[in-house]
Amino acid sequence: MESAWGVAALTGIAIGMQVAVIGTASQSTHPLLISLALQAAGVLCGLVWVVHRGGWGELADLGTRWWLLPLGLLGWGIVAALGYAASQLGAGPTLAVVVGAQVATALVFDMAGGLRLDLRHVLGLVLLVAGVTLIAARS
C-alpha cells in the first residue's frame, strides 16, 4: 500500500512535467499533433514491453474490448487539451483546474459505487476548490 502512494506522487510529478513541456511546445505546434507523437511513442514503448514480456496473448485478448478505442481517442484528446490549456494558462493553473475537476468527478463515481460522502469529503472538496481558485486566479 505504501508503494501506491509513491507511485501516485511520481505520476503526479511526471504529469506536471509533461503538461509544462507540451504547453510550451503547443505554442508553436498544434496540440493534436503533439498528442499524436506522444501516443506513437507510448505505443512503441508498449510494444517493446510486450515483446520483452512475451505478452502477445494478453494483447490479443484486449482486442475484444471495444471500449478501449473510445478511451484511447479520449486520451489523445486529453493530452492535446492539456497542451492547449497550458499554452494559454500555464501548467500550474491548468493542472489545478484539471485535478479539481477530476476529484469532484471521481467522488461522484465513488458515490455511485456505494461511497457515502461525509463531512470530511465535502470539506476536502471545498478546500480543493479554494486551492484551485487561488492557484488559477490571475494576479
**Of 85, 91, 107, 90, nearest in space to 17 by CA:** 91
Helices marked H in the chain — which ranges?
Answer: 2-25, 31-53, 56-62, 68-89, 91-112, 119-136
Q: Side chain identity at 132, as an amino acid letter?
A: V
Q: How confident is the model at residue 54 (pLDDT cuts 50, 70, 90)?
A: confident
Q: What's the average model confidence in pLDDT over 75-104?
A: 93
Supply 31's cell numbers.
Answer: 496540440
Q: What is the pLDDT of residue 139?
A: 52
Q: How confident is the model at residue 46 (pLDDT cuts 50, 70, 90)?
A: confident
Q: What's the average model confidence in pLDDT over 115-131?
A: 92
Instruction: Output the average pLDDT for the chain.
Output: 90
- The domain spans of the chain are 1-89, 90-139
What global pTM score does this model have? 0.79
How far lies 122's CA from each of 96, 114, 126, 127, in Å?
A: 18, 16, 6, 9
